[in-house]
Each structure stands twice: as structure tokens, then as C-alpha cells.
């Protein structure tokens, strides 16, 4: 073994894969009985560098890392992309193993949603705006599955990404309100060299769409520059985003929001919020993309 640890092939061989929830719970319980700290990274597969950055952070904060792959039907609307969502399972397994995942849990739909399953988790208010308004029922699906995943794995640490800021906020609130015994950590958004946030849906973009999709991050950079220069008007901050999109005909706005990062309520004068979330959603061609950044007054 090299000083840097086991090589890639050894790590791949060491990663265990299970499907049944009871098997996943048994493996993690055995580790925890041995006093090992467990971190969890839930995914829907189509693994990219954003997911792998979460695995690396999990690896640094725990003795064992669990990842899951589950394309959750409950969080897709009737006209969304559940059927065509990318599922490169063999590639995903290799990437997660090479990144240092110890246990990969791949539940089946029937494992989590057996016949007659009716329970849903909803956070009043916070789940009904921004992405919740654009995708009704989406966050009920997210929170329901995350709660079930957490109940099975029962990790010490849960790692989420900042790109899905509203989702991370809702999971944090669910954990707090239900007093779940897990620490939730957020990792920064991972970006392509031109600034586009890494996303499984980027694979849908044509070459021309991919070029114009970078306008999402350029718009956010323009908004950040306005805030750094002392801009007080939330409307003008949002206007900076739209100005960056104006010459990109394939980019069609869904929303540009400047909100309080704790309440998701619209901010008019940015001085009134200690922490702002500037969040955007747009369709580039037929592909819907989201991005955001948080801004704190110093």
C-alpha cells in the first residue's frame, strides 16, 4: 500500500453494495457498534464532480462513507424527466468506489414505496416558494425520501450541496424540527471552468445550449459584483442577472429571486437581511437548470 492509501482498484474492490434497506442498516449498525463515525451522501446517480466532492468531504469527516443511488419518482412532476433521467449505473459505481465510498445502497422503488404507501413530509411555507412554486409537490417527494433514507442509514453526518440551496435548507429544517440525530453539512457548489454549476442535467444540453448555459453563472457573478459595490436594491441586483442573460436567446427565465436566506421571503432593500440568497432558474433549450449564491453583510 502506498503512503497515500489503497489504490483505486483496491478501493473499488472494498466497496460493498446492497439493495435491501435491512442490509444497509445492518452494515452501518455494525460500524457504529465498533465506535466508527458514519457520513452519508444521498444521490440520484449520474455521478459528477459535485457528488464526488461531497464524498471527499464525507471521507474527511468520518470513518466510513455511505452513498445511495435512488432516482426518486416522488419528486418528479407528471411532465418532468423521470423516464429519461440518466442512469449510468456501472459508471456511477466505479466513480463512487474510486472516491472512497465504503457502502453503496441501491434501494428499489418497492423497497421505499411499497403498495399502499401514503405518508408524505411537508414543511409549510418554505417548500411552497421558488422551486416549490415552480415544481408543485417536488419538495414533499424530496423530504419524504430523505427522511426514509436517514431512518435506514442513521448516519452521524449528512452531506448536501449548496447548488440545491432550498433543498438543503428544507432538509436542515426537517432535521431540526423532528429532532433527528444527524448533523447536516453543506459543501460549496462545484463548477465547470466557465462557471456552469455541475449538474446531472447538463448532459441534456446541446453544444450550442451548453455555451449559453454559462450565462446563469455570469448573471450571478454580476449580481455578486453589484452587492459588493454596495447596491441596496434587490430589484437592481436581480436586474444585473437578467442583463447578463439578455443576449442569450436560448436562456429563458423561470425566476430570478433575491430573498432572505433564512426565511426565503423576498428582500427589497438588501440591508434588511443579514444573509441573502440570490437564486435563479432558467430553461436552456428544453433543459431546466438552477443556480444560486449566498451573500452575508459584514
d(CA 107, CA 72): 10
DSSP class per residue in 190-257:
PB-TTSPBP-GGGGG--HHHHHHHTHHHHHHHHHHHHHHTT--BHHHHHHHHHHHHTT-TTEEEEEEE
Q: What cell does 47 get?
A: 455521478
Q: Is 117 a catalytic residue?
A: no
The whole-angstrom distance between residue 212's C-alpha and the CA centroid of its chain comes to 22
Number of Cβ atoms within 10 Å of the Cβ of 84: 8
Is residue 207 a contact partner of residue 83, using CB atoms and an 8 Å limit? no
How do beta strands 38-43 and 251-260 pair?
unpaired
According to DSSP, residue 137 is labeled T
HSE-CB for 156 with a 13 A CA cutoff:
17
d(CA 5, CA 175): 34
Is residue 124 a contact partner of residue 139, using CB atoms and an 8 Å limit? no
Q: Which of 293, 290, 210 is nearest to 254 (CA)?
A: 290
d(CA 186, CA 174): 15
Residue positions annotated with a catalytic role: 51
Amino acid at each position: 500500500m502506498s503512503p497515500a492509501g489503497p489504490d483505486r482498484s483496491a478501493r473499488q474492490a472494498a466497496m460493498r453494495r446492497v439493495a435491501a434497506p435491512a442490509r444497509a442498516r445492518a452494515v452501518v449498525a455494525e460500524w457504529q457498534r465498533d465506535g466508527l463515525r458514519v457520513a452519508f451522501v444521498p444521490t440520484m446517480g449520474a455521478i459528477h464532480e459535485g457528488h464526488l466532492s461531497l464524498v471527499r468531504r464525507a471521507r474527511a469527516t468520518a470513518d466510513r462513507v455511505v452513498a445511495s443511488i435512488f432516482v426518486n419518482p416522488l419528486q418528479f412532476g407528471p411532465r418532468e424527466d423521470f423516464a429519461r433521467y440518466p442512469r449510468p449505473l456501472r459508471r456511477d459505481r466505479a466513480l463512487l468506489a474510486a472516491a472512497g465510498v465504503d457502502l453503496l445502497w441501491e434501494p428499489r422503488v418497492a423497497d421505499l414505496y411499497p403498495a399502499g404507501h401514503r405518508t408524505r413530509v411537508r414543511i409549510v411555507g418554505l417548500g411552497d416558494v421558488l422551486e416549490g412554486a415552480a415544481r408543485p409537490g417536488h419538495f414533499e417527494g424530496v423530504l419524504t425520501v430523505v427522511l426514509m433514507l436517514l431512518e435506514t442509514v442513521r448516519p452521524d453526518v449528512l452531506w448536501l450541496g449548496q447548488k440545491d440551496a432550498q433543498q438543503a435548507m428544507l432538509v436542515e429544517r426537517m432535521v431540526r424540527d423532528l429532532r433527528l440525530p444527524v448533523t447536516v453539512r453543506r459543501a460549496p457548489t462545484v463548477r465547470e471552468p466557465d462557471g456552469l454549476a455541475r449538474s446531472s442535467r447538463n448532459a441534456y444540453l446541446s453544444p450550442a445550449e451548453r455555451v449559453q448555459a454559462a450565462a446563469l453563472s455570469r448573471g450571478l457573478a454580476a449580481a455578486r459584483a453589484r452587492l459588493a459595490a454596495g447596491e441596496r436594491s434587490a430589484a437592481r441586483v436581480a436586474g444585473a442577472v437578467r442583463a447578463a442573460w439578455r443576449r442569450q436567446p436560448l436562456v429563458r427565465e423561470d425566476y430570478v429571486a433575491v430573498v432572505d436566506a433564512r426565511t426565503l421571503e423576498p428582500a427589497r432593500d438588501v440591508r434588511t437581511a443579514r444573509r441573502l440568497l440570490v437564486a435563479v432558474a432558467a430553461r436552456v433549450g428544453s433543459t431546466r437548470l438552477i443556480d444560486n449564491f449566498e451573500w452575508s453583510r459584514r
